[in-house]
Each structure stands twice: as structure tokens, then as C-alpha cells.
């Protein structure tokens, strides 16, 4: 019940994602990795900040659009640009999981 109370409509994202997945915020063009435990998801962004999933998607009270992808191989986010990430998605090197 705690997950449903905290994440509301985002609970499907919580249940579908796994630790280590990539999240791409299509609205802000930011991306990061998911760090998941049994009741929360934290997003480790490229700016070295850690944000709760709810705050990653709802910025200043406005819902942004995000997509979750699962890497098929180990990736180092510090070495990847947004353009390279987009290429990985187009080449299907990342498996699409879910979006809001």
C-alpha cells in the first residue's frame, strides 16, 4: 500500500522497472539510472544528483514524459551523451520497458 500511496499513477513504472535500468526524460532531455529497493526508486542522473522517481517525473508540479529502458550490456553513463543514448535506443541495444 505504501508504494501505491507514494507513487500513485506511477506505480506501474515502479513494478516494471529494475535496479540498473535507464530512464530517459523526454521532456527535459535528461537521463539516469534507476536504483530500486523494496519501496522506493531513486534516479541517479547525469548531473550526479539523486532524485526520487516521483520528483523526476513531476517537476515543479508538472508531469514530464519519461521512458524506461533495460540495457543489454553494461553502460557507463558518464561516457554517454544524449545523442549516443538515442542511437542505442534506435539500434535496439536497449530494451524498452515502460513509459508514463
3-state secondary structure 7-51: HHHHHHHHHHCCCCCEEEECCCCEEEEEEECCCCEEEEECCCCEE
pLDDT bracket for residue 5 (50, 70, 90) = confident
Q: Is the pLDDT of residue 60 over 90?
A: no
Residue 43: pLDDT above 90?
A: yes
**What is the reported pLDDT for 4?**
84
The band of 42, judged by pLDDT with boundaries at 50, 70 and 90, is very high
Give pLDDT, residue 73.
79
Domain count, the chain: 1
Confidence of residue 9 (pLDDT cuts 50, 70, 90): confident
Quote the longest CA-to-CA distance of the chain. Answer: 39
pTM for the structure as a whole: 0.88
Q: Could you list the residue range(s) of the whole structural domain that residue 14 is in?
A: 2-99
Q: What is the pLDDT of residue 18?
A: 94
Tell me the average pLDDT across 2-8.
85
Amino acid at each position: 500500500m505504501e508504494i501505491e500511496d507514494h507513487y500513485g499513477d506511477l506505480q506501474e513504472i515502479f513494478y516494471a522497472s529494475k535496479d540498473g535500468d535507464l530512464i530517459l526524460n523526454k521532456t527535459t532531455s535528461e537521463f539516469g539510472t534507476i536504483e530500486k529497493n523494496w519501496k522506493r526508486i531513486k534516479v541517479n542522473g547525469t548531473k550526479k544528483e539523486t532524485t526520487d522517481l516521483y520528483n523526476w517525473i513531476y517537476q515543479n508540479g508538472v508531469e514530464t514524459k519519461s521512458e524506461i529502458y533495460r540495457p543489454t550490456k553494461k553502460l557507463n553513463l558518464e561516457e554517454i551523451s544524449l545523442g549516443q543514448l538515442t542511437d542505442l535506443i534506435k539500434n535496439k541495444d536497449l530494451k524498452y520497458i515502460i513509459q508514463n
